[in-house]
A and B are shown apart, each in its own frame.
Chain A
């Protein structure tokens, strides 16, 4: 079983809808949580970063971390066709090497006009 589980999708939503993405993990030592967006044939782009538990909001994006359930979420409000991409969750523990992230498989999101 992988340390980080993420449904690969695809997840299709109409323009303007809320996109809801999530990852579950098994390693209770994970403390740093990130969401990346990756367009086709491009490198991942950092969207959100959260340390430990709680919520964080940035524009149309909201990231949530529930460490008790080992569950993280990303919500995208007022989705646009330009949000169509693969969304990757990533995480690491405090004692892990700084540059070593564990990634989910990525969820492909399609926002239809």
Chain B
């Protein structure tokens, strides 16, 4: 099976702009989670989607939002970008089957906010 794919891989934006990142999960996986990774804070959970519904949200401001489509693909959006939003944004998918309680990560989208 193909792995988790994320687009774009790299992105440069300026403060105040907004950005949309895309994630395609492993075929058959219906759960998608998003994480932000920075050198100072490490990997932090943003939100999780399953069957087009947000199941959980981390401690991030409302500028961070997401959605999931019927084909399980997911997008996350960050509005009014700040310098501190520069990070590696990782998407992970899982198939939510007993014995498979693990997540598989994509390569990430590296966002630089200038």
Contact = CB atoms under 8 A, between A and B. Distances in A.
B50 A43 contact: no
Contact of A99 (B6, B50, B106, B110): B50
A88 to B, nearest CB: 7
Nearest to B10: A41
Contacts of B72: none
Interface residues of B, number: 27
B interface secondary structure, majority: strand
Contacts of B33: 99-101
B56 interface: yes
Contact of B92 (A32, A97, A99): A99
Interface stretch (B12-20, B40-48, B76-84): B40-48
12 contacts: A32-B101, A42-B107, A43-B4, A43-B107, A43-B108, A44-B90, A46-B104, A51-B101, A97-B56, A98-B55, A99-B31, A101-B45
Interface of B: 4, 6, 31-33, 42-43, 45, 48-50, 55-56, 58, 90, 92, 94, 96, 101-108, 110
